[in-house]
Structure formats: C-alpha cells, structure tokens
Structure 1
Amino acid sequence: MSGFLELEIYQLAERLANAVCNAVSSWENFHKYSLGQQMVRSADSIGANIAEGYGRHSLADQARFVVIARGSLYETMHWYRLGCDRQLWEGEEQRALQEMLDELAPRLNAYLRSFHRRMAQAKQVR
C-alpha cells in the first residue's frame, strides 16, 4: 500500500524536507517566518506530490504530480539561494542542502522521463 516509501527519490525528498525544517527552526523569528516557512512548505511539497502521484491510477496523472513536485523543488531552490544571499545557512548545512538539491533535480527529471517512456510504450501497444 505504501510502495512510494521504497522510492529512492521519495526518500531523498523526505531527507531534504527534514534537513530544511531542522535548519530553519533555529533561525531568528523574522527569517523563520518570512523565508523559512516558505522554504519548509515548498520542500515538504516535493515528497508529498511524489507520494500523491504514486497513488494515482493513470500514468498521465502520476507524471502530472511529478511535474508539480519538480516545481516545488525549483521553488525550494529559490528559497535556498535567498538564504545563501542572506547568509542564513551554517557551513555544513549549506553544503548538505546544496548536495541534496543537486541530486534531486536530475533524479526527478529522470523519474518524469520514465513516465513519458511508459506512456509512449502504452500508445504503441494500442
């Protein structure tokens, strides 16, 4: 029933969301409630959309939710960059977040391509 939990891409999204939340929770209130809450929401949304798409029946619906997850990832990247510009990250957490963001982007794109390939194959079978 919860096969999405086995997806490496979901696990990475979950690690990213938890790392963002942990980092933001230590910020001063102004940054926490302006940039921080936005970034936590967008990071949380990545895994949530992967999970929701996994539960959909059609490949097109599943792919649509991966596209939404990718949009949330790009939004998270935006907030991350602003945090860098405002010097809100500690050295190690900044490096770890950057590595997760760098890894997740191509993996989400590959995951999306897998749906497109399967939809193309399904059209050929018809």
Structure 2
Amino acid sequence: MSVTLWHNTACSKSRNALKLIRDAGLDPVIVDYLADPPDVATLRKVLADAGLRASELVRSNEPVFAELGLAGADEAQLVAAMGAHPRLINRPIVITEKGTRLCRPPERVLDIL
C-alpha cells in the first residue's frame, strides 16, 4: 500500500502518526510540506478527498493567521493563504488508496491503512 504523510518533525501528532504507520509495517513517502509546500490545486484536492473545508485544515492559532487578518476569510482566501504560508496547514495529513485524512488525533490514520 502506498502511504504519503505530510509531515512536520516538530509536531508530536505528526510523529505519532508516522510511528503508527511504521508500526503497521508500512514505509510512507514523507513530504516536508514546510520545505516543499503544496500548490493551491493540490490543497483543493486534499480538502476534497478528505471531505474538509479549508477552515477545518487551517491552523488559526498561528501568528501569521492573525497577521494576515484571516478571521472571517472565505474558503478561497484560506486556501490561498495556506499555499503561500504552509505553516497554516494543519498536520499530519495522510494519503492512501483508502482515503485522505487529517490525522488529529493520530489514531485516525488507522482507518485508512
């Protein structure tokens, strides 16, 4: 099975999701989305595949969220902001043939392995 993990090594939830994936005997493709941010089209696809709204994926507690005045922003504005400022993307995101999930809590990854 192919598994892709949008990963941030500084995030404990992301590290825990990675551990669960590896404990299941899988070796994921790890995407450092901070160093190699997804474009807007990829973000839209992930949102659609996961059944999420941009407001559910954005990290509203990041300082840049307030700096950009994103409170009350529409979906298109949030997606554009996440594309330009990947720190705004919540994690971990896991993509498999069985689905795409924002794995918060990390155990949500088990549903798609």
Work out whether the TM-score is over 0.5.
no
Higher helix share: 1
More strand per residue = 2
Question: When the two structures are superposed, what TM-score results if normalisation uses the length of structure 2?
Answer: 0.30
Larger Rg: 1
Normalising by structure 1, report the TM-score: 0.28
